[in-house]
Every structure is written in structure tokens, then in C-alpha cells.
Amino acid sequence: MEKRVTFNERTLPYVLVAPQIIVTLVFFFWPSGQMVWQSVLLEDAFGGNSRFVWFDNFVHLFEDSAYFASVRLTLVFSALVASLGLAVSLLLAVMADRVIRGAGAYKTFLVWPYAVAPAVAGVLWGFLFNPSVGIVAWLLYAIGIDFNYVSNGNQAFLLVVFAAVWSQVSYNFLFFLAGLQSIPRSLIEAAAIDGAGPGRRFWDIVFPLLSPTGFFLLVINIIYAFFQTFGIVGSLTQGGPGQATNILVWKVYNDGFRGQDLGGSAAQSVILMAVVVLLTFVQFRFIERRVHY
């Protein structure tokens, strides 16, 4: 889409785009270019010397079983976060859409977790499940479950999933609620007159009409689980115990900053970049479809 009426100026438009273009060039293109360049270099441990190694970093990565473990972990993680997060928030949104009394209050109380930083959410959940002082850990112990996320890898993983879902529920809830409220009442009333109960109406009318929102949220949630859960991992488990919560985005940071393996870390970033490009592409394709829906 283009404007029919425009202004004629020679230099002004360049002045206006300059700040954003400069910031983008310096803090986006320069580092991204370096990242791609670094992914084909091998730097020795003391810095300074580096040599061009073609795709050795990628080959190393693909031969590394730890990397595949992290890939598998991230896939399971994002599948769990996305499915749990979507299911819980859809349930809450459908219920909030039904009730008349108190709908506004429910909404207010369900949206604010969005404002809690993932890193802080990690701290809160770590406190609840802390093996020595956590109240939930204490309750679990009382019913015979020894929950210790500091030493048990599976439990640590589960806890990160919970915290991640908790952080994302309000976002999903808002979009589902908006989607539900845009469904024409007349359709639902017509179905009710024809004798369809609430369950039938949900599966035959609401659910199909909500599927574009659901699909959009699915992509957003996968992106969220892949990248924005960094803060949760950072303040809850730091990738451990062992490799139990070492998801890809944490591994990039950990290998690059703590392990000083710049080439390997850059190669991982390039692969992650491919994932984002793919997901963004899927999302844009979908939005185009939604327009024609």
C-alpha cells in the first residue's frame, strides 16, 4: 500500500530515517555480520589468532552429541510450554468470555503476570520449590514426593516449564479473549436455538473460528519458548543440573561467554537465526491468510 499524496523533499527523508538506520546498522547488521563471519573462523583460546576453517564449526556441532541433546531438549521444552500454555489460557479465556459478573476483574487479575520479568518469575518459582524453604516442595514432601530441582534434572526441567507457562499465560489469555469476543453472537445464538449445548457450540463453532488466533499464538509461543525463556533459565537453573535445562539459547550464551568458544557459539547462533527466519516466514504467511479468512 502506498500514499497517493507525498511531499517533495530531497534531504529531509534521509535525515528522518538516519537515526533508526544508524542504530540498525551499528547494533544489528555489524554484529550479525560478525556472527556469520565468526561461525566460519577458529579462534585460539588466547584470542588474537584466528583462521578460516570453512564449515568446521558446523561440522563439529553436528558431530557433538551434547548439541543434539540440547536440540532435543529445546524441542520437548517448546512443545510442552506451547501446548500447556495454550490449553490453560484457552480454558481461562473461554470461561472469562462466559461469565457476565466480574469479567473485568478476572481480566485484570489474569493479565498482570505479563509485566513480571521472566528472570523474576524464575526467582519466584525457585522460591516456591526451593528444597529447603519452598512451601510447595514442603507440601510435596508431605505427600511423599521428594522434589529437589537443584539435584534432579527432570524436576528442574519441569519447574522451568511451569515458570515459562506462568509467564506466558496472560499474553495468550488476552489474545484468546479478544478472539472469542470477535465471534458474532448471532452464530452462537442460532446454534443454541437449533438445540446445540455449550460443548457442541464450542467444538463446532467457537473452536474453528478461533483457530487463526490459536495458530498465531502457537508460533508466538514457540518463539517465546525458544528465546525469551532465557531469563527463567538464568535465574532458576543456569542450564543445570548437568545439562537438564541447557536449552539452545542458554547454550549459545554459555558456550560463547563462559566457554569462550566463539566459533561454536556463533555457529549455533546462525542455526538459531535460521529457525527464527523460518518461524517469521510461517507467521507472515499465516497473517496473509488471516486477512482473507
Partner 1 sequence: MVENRPVVTFLSHFVLIVGLIIVAFPVWMTFVASTHDQATMLRSPVPLLPGPYLLDNYRQVLFEGFGRGFSDTPTWLTLMNSLIMALGVAVGKIAISIISAFAIVYFRFPFRMIFFWAIFVTLMLPVEVRIVPTYGVVARLGMLDSYSGLIIPVIASATATFLFRQFFLSVPDELTEAARVDGASPMRFFRDILLPMSRTSIAALFVIQFIYGWNQYLWPLLITTKESFYTVVMAVSRQATAVDATPSWNLLMAMAMLAMLPPVLVVVFMQRQFVRGLVETEK
Show contacts with partner 1 in window 207-266 (CB under 8 A): 216, 220, 223, 227-228, 230-231, 234-235, 238, 249, 252-253, 256-257, 262, 265-266
* Cα distance between residue 272 and residue 276, in whole Å: 6
71 binds partner 1 (CB under 8 A): no
Measured from the CB of residue 69, what is the shortest distance to partner 1 in angstroms?
20
> With 0-12 CB in 10 A as exposed, 13-18 as middle and 19+ as buried, what is 103?
middle
Q: What residues numbered 272-291 form the site for partner 1, per CB under 8 A?
A: 272-273, 276-277, 280, 287
Q: What residues numbered 137-176 form the site for partner 1, per CB under 8 A?
A: 138-139, 166, 169-171, 174-175
> Which residue lies nearer to partner 1 by CB, 154 or 238?
238
Measured from the CB of residue 80, what is the shortest distance to partner 1 in angstroms?
17
Count the residues of the shown chain that bind partner 1, applying the rule CB under 8 A: 104
Measured from the CB of residue 70, what is the shortest distance to partner 1 in angstroms?
14
Say if residues 59 and 139 touch (Cβ distance below 8 Å): no
**H helices present in 11-64, as ranges:** 12-24, 30-38, 56-63
Measured from the CB of residue 65, what is the shortest distance to partner 1 in angstroms?
23
Measured from the CB of residue 160, what is the shortest distance to partner 1 in angstroms?
14
65 binds partner 1 (CB under 8 A): no
Q: Which value, to the nearest 10 degrees, does the dihedral of the CA atoms of residues 162, 79, 176, 292 take?
A: 160
40 binds partner 1 (CB under 8 A): no
**Residue selected from 106, 202, 215, 286 as contacting partner 1 according to rule CB under 8 A:** 106
> Which residue lies nearer to partner 1 by CB, 125 or 157?
125
> Which residue lies nearer to partner 1 by CB, 60 or 107?
107
Closest CA to 39 of 277, 269, 226, 274: 269
61 binds partner 1 (CB under 8 A): no
CB within 8 A of 238, min separation 6: which ones?
250
- Please identify, among the stretches 44-52, 56-64, 90-98, 151-159, the one whose residues bind partner 1 according to the rule CB under 8 A: 90-98
* Cα distance between residue 216 and residue 286, in whole Å: 7
Q: What residues numbered 114-133 form the site for partner 1, per CB under 8 A?
A: 114-128, 132-133
87 binds partner 1 (CB under 8 A): no
* Cα distance between residue 207 and residue 257, in whole Å: 45
Q: H or E element: which one contains 221? A: helix 207-223
Q: How many CB atoms lie within 10 A of CB 197?
A: 9
* Cα distance between residue 239 and residue 254, in whole Å: 9
66 binds partner 1 (CB under 8 A): no
Residue 52 has φ and ψ, to the nearest 5°, of -80, 125
